[in-house]
Structure formats: C-alpha cells, structure tokens
Amino acid sequence: MVLSSHPETLQDQCDLRTVHPDRVQEARAKLMGDHVYAELAETFSALADSNRAKIIYSLMGGELCVCALAAVLGVSESAVSQHLRILRNLRWVRNRKHGRVVYYSLDDEHIKALLELSLAHAAGR
C-alpha cells in the first residue's frame, strides 16, 4: 500500500507534529493495545535462541526426553530443562511424564509454518 498523502516535495518536512500529525494519528489509531505487542515479542523471543530452535526442530521428528535432547544439543540437562520451561510456558511444547522420564513434544501446529516462513525469509537474502 502507498501513502495517500505521499510526500513528493522537499517541503514535506518531517516535523510531523506540525506538518503530518494526521499520519501519525492514523498509525497510532491502528495500533492495538500494548499487551498485544508484548505478547508477540514474548512469543517470538521463545524462538529467538538457536538451542530452542534446535529443540523444536528435533521434536518435529517425534517426542524426546530431556536427556536425549541434552545429548542431541550437546548441552547440560539443566540448560535444556530451562529452555523447555520457557517453551512450555508459551505453549510451544507439552510434556508427558512416564516414570521418572519426561517426554516433550510439540504443542502447536503453528510452529512448523513459523519455522518454514522464517527459513524462507532467511533464504531470500
């Protein structure tokens, strides 16, 4: 989409508070509540770590227990456990306890599409 009040002359300066307050007002009006963006950021930040990305990708092949994930990633079980807690709190993964082993699996069908879109974007560089 192109701005209707598209600036074409150099007189269109950026002192928008006096020249284009309407454009700012329009954009402000379209914004949703702050909590929406906070949630968005929180959701994405769960995926913004390479080890968590590896965890999710590994879980696409089926559920895995904590120590298997630790072995796959090559980090401590403690670190994996903490990553899994973050992912679990945001409902990206769920867990199933079997004896003293806890198996984790993906909990949302959106995750695959998100990864694919992100990879597609990164590939276009």
Partner DNA sequence: CTAATAGTTTAGCAACTACGCAGATATTGA
Partner DNA sequence: TCAATATCTGCGTAGTTGCTAAACTATTAG
Stretch 49-88 residues interacting with its own copies (CB under 8 A): 49-54, 57-58, 60-68, 71-72
User: Using the rule CB under 7 A, which residue among 24, 36, 40, 48 binds DNA?
Assistant: 48
Which DSSP symbol is given to 32?
Answer: -
57 binds, among DNA, its own copies, none (CB under 5 to 8 A by kind): its own copies
Cα–Cα distances in angstroms (integers) from residue 115 to residues 42, 66, 103, in the given order? 16, 22, 22
Longest dimension (CA), the chain: 72
37 binds, among its own copies, DNA, none (CB under 5 to 8 A by kind): its own copies
For residue 117, list its beta bridge partners: none
Kindly report the number of other CB atoms within 10 A of residue 83's CB atom: 22
Residue 20 to residue 74: CA distance in whole angstroms: 54
Interface with DNA in residues 7-36 (CB under 7 A): 10-11, 13-15
Cβ-based nearer residue to its own copies, 95 or 103: 103
Contacts with DNA by CB under 7 A lie at 10-11, 13-15, 45, 48-49, 51-52, 65-67, 75-86, 95, 97, 99-103
